[in-house]
A and B are shown apart, each in its own frame.
Chain A
Amino acid sequence: MESRIGKFWLGAGYVFLYLPILTLIVFSFNDSKMVTLWGGFTFKWYGVIAHDTEVVDGFLLSLKVALMTASASVCLGMLAAFAMVRYKSFFGRTAFSAHINAPLVVPEVITGLSLLLFFVLCQRLFGMPERGVFTIWAGHTSVGMAYAAVVIQSRLLEMDKSLEEAAMDLGCRPFQVFYLVTFPMIAQALMSAWLLTFTISLDDVVATAFLSGPGSTTLPIVILSRARLGLNPTVNAIATITVAVVAVGVLAGSLWLNRQERKRAAEQAAAYREGTLALAS
């Protein structure tokens, strides 16, 4: 009885989460200008967006910004994480820690607005930077860095410190310790941090709206401005492509991780069995 109620609520949750997306996908194949009326099946909206320069340019810009943001965020986030984990006492550590985490809790509107004011001021004083790719990138990175730092920090904390000591003991100079031992150990966390900041940057609207200039419209801004002019099947098509890409990426990623995990567990169990057998004999 209880389980049936549970299943009902679970189902309701799924419907609430996924029905809108499903509707969007279905209507991207709708052969009618009217978004709410089904007029037959078609691929034509996909053809339309392929020749829509605004959409294609927006997509390419988004991609460019996301790539730059993810890379910069991981680099800076890694440095911040190292500082936090490895140095337990330095002047201003608490303030530093708060600064790292602040972008996670400060509303994005505030972040965007303050950055805009800052850049406007800079431009008045120094004549640069022009609002555009650079300012968007800087804004996204200030948020992305915080996420990256959190992800990398947790990996560093759980890493056995004696691994690095062992490397040093065996003759590694500090830099060798990093690239021979620490880097391989945290590579997976760096990868997840990169993917996380990539997706955050890719679909960011709020900060981007403040920071983009006339010639620099990212895809989410394009979608938003079009949706505001009235619902439009091309928007559905763009969104469907995005959903498909993300779904495939996430699915492949988690399947791969799952398989690694299972393989590892099996190997560990085998080693343990072997060990007990050897002991018994």
Chain B
Amino acid sequence: MANSPASAAAKVDDSRFVRIDRLTKRFDEVAAVDDVSLDIEKGEIFALLGSSGCGKSTLLRMLAGFETPSVGSIYLEGNDIAKMPPYERPINMMFQSYALFPHLTVWENIAFGLKRDNMPTDQIAERVETMLNIVKLKPYAKRKPHQLSGGQQQRVALARCLAKSPKLLLLDEPLGALDRKLREQTQFELHNIIKKVGVTCVLVTHDQEEAMTMADRIAVMSEGRFKQVGKPNEIYETPSCRFVADFIGNVNMFGGTLEVDQPDHCVIDTMHGKFYLDHGITGTQDMPVSVAVRPEKINLQRDPPADPQYNCLRGEIADSGYFGSFSLYRMNLASGMKLQIQITHTERHGELFQRGETVFATCAPDSLVALTT
């Protein structure tokens, strides 16, 4: 009985807390979100990362119910909610502008959603109290939003969303309205609160650092589509395409062709030199492939390496910047390309390279990524 197909199917659905199935939203025939599918697990913090206009807000607003999908469905715990109005969804959203009600006090703002649920007064008071404690705003309960600083307003907005114990919390650029200094501090606070409450959360941001530090998984978006979905380190270390490699962090990219392709290694020939990678790619001989390497994965040395055939680039230091814990160099290659290199200073009196010096840049076979798309 327990192994009947029906109960097995139900079980699969439950494990996918939120399921977005082939979702498309068109505005006047232009697809802002284009055939996007995604599963989000319970308790996960998921970030939608992308540049301006890539459709991340539109996707979030479809989850909240402010936009109706042109095609596709959204399942929450197995129920299709795509056609449900926002006021019936067990989902709450924190707006980029916070959207605090200016005519209500902090206390009333937080109680607003609870009153709509006809919660008994004493329970409302208790719940608001709890929320005020979580966001550490108890002394400010009687203030109006304009009497609060930006960071405090953000916390009120968060408390107001969390007060209703939503199944899914949506954050649209949660730190976008704060100044830089406040951002870093708030980022960790926000992360801690969400994890403490244990709510599943989808957040939208165009700031990759914010996405990396806050999220368990990230979707990199471009022109309404997902380019890659994965853990922050996966996205950084094994980007799936040129767009993602370029979008996240700094990268040096060399265009070339596939020369040797074996299961355990491959060689890519570029105009800058040949690269030996410790993994194979399933491609055809001479197909165009790019090699990507992060600036911090490159080593610099003055003497030519023992085996200069692979993964070795000769050039001249064009610029250098000393940042204390690390130095940034830019190196002119013979091919005309500029290479970015970041050297971490692990020793107090490690060597520094001067502008105009001729040096060799090397990198390990496992630090290179081959990109075919």
**Which A residues are closer than 8 A to B by beta carbons?**
160, 162-163, 165-173, 176, 180-181, 184-185, 264, 267-268, 270-272, 274-276, 278-279
Contacts and interface: CB of A to CB of B under 8 A. Distances in A.
15 contacts: A160-B97, A165-B64, A165-B66, A166-B101, A168-B87, A169-B87, A170-B112, A170-B113, A170-B164, A171-B113, A171-B117, A180-B112, A270-B147, A278-B149, A279-B182
B155 to A, nearest CB: 11
B160 to A, nearest CB: 7
B87 A181 contact: no
B103 A165 contact: no
Contact of B146 (A163, A184, A268, A276): A268
B236 interface: no
B93 interface: yes
A279 B147 CA distance: 16
B147 to A, nearest CB: 5
Contacts of A167: 101, 112
Given A171-B164, A274-B149, A166 B116 contact: no
A165 B95 contact: yes
Contacts of A171: 87, 113, 116-117, 164
A19 B116 CA distance: 58
B66 A264 contact: no
B95 A166 contact: yes
A170 B92 contact: yes
Contacts of B181: 279
A276 B101 CA distance: 23
B148 A271 contact: yes
A181 B101 contact: yes
Contacts of B92: 169-170
Contacts of B160: 170
B93 A264 contact: no
Nearest to B91: A169
A64 to B, nearest CB: 33
A176 B99 contact: no
A166 B66 CA distance: 10
B368 to A, nearest CB: 42
Q: Which 5 A-B pairs have the closest CB atoms?
A: A275-B149, A171-B116, A170-B113, A166-B99, A162-B99
Interface in B293-329: none
A176 B116 contact: yes
Interface in B121-159: 143-144, 146-152
A172 B116 contact: yes
B109 to A, nearest CB: 9
Given A169-B93, A171-B117, A275-B152, A267 B99 contact: no
Contacts of B164: 170-171
A57 B46 CA distance: 72
Contacts of B146: 264, 267-268, 271
B135 to A, nearest CB: 14
B101 A163 contact: yes
Contact of B149 (A163, A173, A271): A271
A180 B151 CA distance: 26
Nearest to B153: A271
B201 to A, nearest CB: 15
A278 B181 CA distance: 12
A5 B96 CA distance: 51
A261 B99 CA distance: 21
B255 interface: no
